[in-house]
Structure 1
């Protein structure tokens, strides 16, 4: 199994065409086809199949493609690590965030990092928390800022950075705008960016002995989430920072004042084992941990580590 074969397989599956993969990799089509046939012969299974959708992966091919992406990312990181050891930080840094996670301190830290390492190519991807973890697992992200609770089973380092205050809100004129308890809101529609299982809203209901609401709308689009919150009768869960920074939303929503405390979003930095991180990624991770939690945690950024 050779790297050029894995690159060919990933490129063909992503483009759906040997012709397009040939163009992207600057390799002739016969050479690509030969590499795939040799790989199939080595493994003893078919990896690709032609269909009316073009070329798609078989079940064997899909499994190998997932592994191949991680292998190719590791090779890229290894090369960048060698380059930085030569004295220049000029690799790539891929950061994942959800709409609610970056704060002022994150932006300030990123600006300082850019001035310190101007040749590092930074990519910032805004994704749902579940997609952030998927990006980390597939090696597409070097680190992520997420509101998901830490887990001991994923093999990543989790460092809690800070807590964002949150509120529940309804549109102006909502019939329950003066509600005083969670129980009064249970039978309403709820608007969340993640599932109840992943959202602190689910925890809030559980901690207060109230059954989960049955009608939940999950919306990952920030713009559509705001529009639904302002025009429907759904109860929406907001980061107070986001709400306060959006003047239009403050004019169209009422913040609910209920007896139960609304749990904050605990924002964590999630990254790979330090020995596997590139110098570019480790430099930013150290900066963020220092800014949010102080210098005493720089040597041990992992609050939980899977073994």
Structure 2
């Protein structure tokens, strides 16, 4: 099984057709078709269904795709690690970061790292566990800076505690519940979660359970923290926000923190990655800068 054929399979999935993938790879369409046919013969199953509009992947093809992404990613990491060990600091680091970390710790870590290693490309996306876990497993991400439940990590993943972040219950100042002082008053509120369960958007449910109350039922989920503050304006939504996000949106959106008496659990932020996948020297150094920024 050739790495180049697996790369071609991934490009076909990305482009949606063999013709477009062949153009992107700068090879002829017949040559690419032959390579895929040889791969199908090797695995003993059809991988693609060819139609007039392009190609779709069979169940066998989707299974091969998952492994292909990891194999190709690991092949690239091997080349980058050897090059970096020999003093050639090139390659890329792929990570996801919670917005609250992207606004604070990550820029502090990236500035000195990028100034020192101009040949390293860093690709950062917004993302939270468990939604980004498949990307970690497939090799699409090297690590994630994300809220985690330390006692509930998926098998195959490992986490290193990094820091804690406060969250606040937020609403627009005009919300009738803006001056509520007990969680009980918020049980029937129109809750807006930033993630589906069991993501960090539902973290507030721990506070309700600790107070002996039935957790609220969200009426809406918005996974964009850029959009979420806007949804609170002129509405009766109640939500939770990391304190750093709340402080930035408080004045621009006329938001307030609802002063409930019960304690609100902090978010544990961790470095989440695959347990069995070694990190390149560049990734290890960036993580050192991230730890330094978190501790300072």
Q: TM-score, normalised by structure 1?
A: 0.89
| 1:103 to partner: Cα distance | 4.6
| 1:195 to partner: Cα distance | 2.2
- Show the 5 A alignment for 1:222-301: 222-246=225-249, 248-249=251-252, 251-273=253-275, 276-293=278-295
Matched residue SS, 1:122:
strand
- Show the 5 A alignment for 1:62-73: 62-73=62-73
| 1:272 to partner: Cα distance | 3.6
| 1:293 to partner: Cα distance | 4.9
Deviates more, 1:105-114 or 1:72-81: 105-114
Is this contact kept in 1: 2:22–2:29, CA < 8 A? yes
Equivalence for 1:112? 112
User: Cα gap change, 1:59/1:224 in structure 2, threshold over 3 Å: closer, same or farther?
Assistant: same
Q: Deviations over 1:88-145 (max 9, x none)?
A: 2121111211222335333212111112212211111112433322221111111111
| 1:59 to partner: Cα distance | 0.5
Equivalence for 1:298? none
Is this contact kept in 2: 1:157–1:272, CA < 8 A? yes
Q: Deviations over 1:34-53 (max 9, x none)?
A: 11111111222110002364
User: Cα gap change, 1:53/1:128 in structure 2, threshold over 3 Å: closer, same or farther?
Assistant: farther
User: Cα gap change, 1:259/1:112 in structure 2, threshold over 3 Å: closer, same or farther?
Assistant: same
Equivalence for 1:77? 77
- Show the 5 A alignment for 1:58-207: 58-150=58-150, 151-198=152-199, 199-207=202-210
| 1:155 to partner: Cα distance | 2.1
Q: Which runs of 5+ in 2 are unaligned?
A: none
Partner Cα distance (2:295, 2:225) in 1: 29
Matched residue SS, 2:231:
helix
User: Cα gap change, 1:218/1:70 in structure 2, threshold over 3 Å: closer, same or farther?
Assistant: same
| 1:275 to partner: Cα distance | 6.2
Partner Cα distance (1:275, 1:47) in 2: 27
Matched residue SS, 1:55:
strand
Q: Which runs of 5+ in 1 are unaligned?
A: 295-307
User: Cα gap change, 1:92/1:238 in structure 2, threshold over 3 Å: closer, same or farther?
Assistant: same
Partner Cα distance (2:51, 2:248) in 1: 49
Partner Cα distance (2:21, 2:237) in 1: 46
| 1:152 to partner: Cα distance | 4.1
Matched residue SS, 1:184:
helix
Partner Cα distance (1:45, 1:253) in 2: 57
Partner Cα distance (1:124, 1:52) in 2: 36
Matched residue SS, 1:125:
strand
Q: State the number of aligned residues.
A: 293
Equivalence for 2:26? 26
Q: Deviations over 1:32-78 (max 9, x none)?
A: 11111111112221100023642010010011101101100000111
Is this contact kept in 1: 2:171–2:232, CA < 8 A? yes
Q: TM-score, normalised by structure 2?
A: 0.92
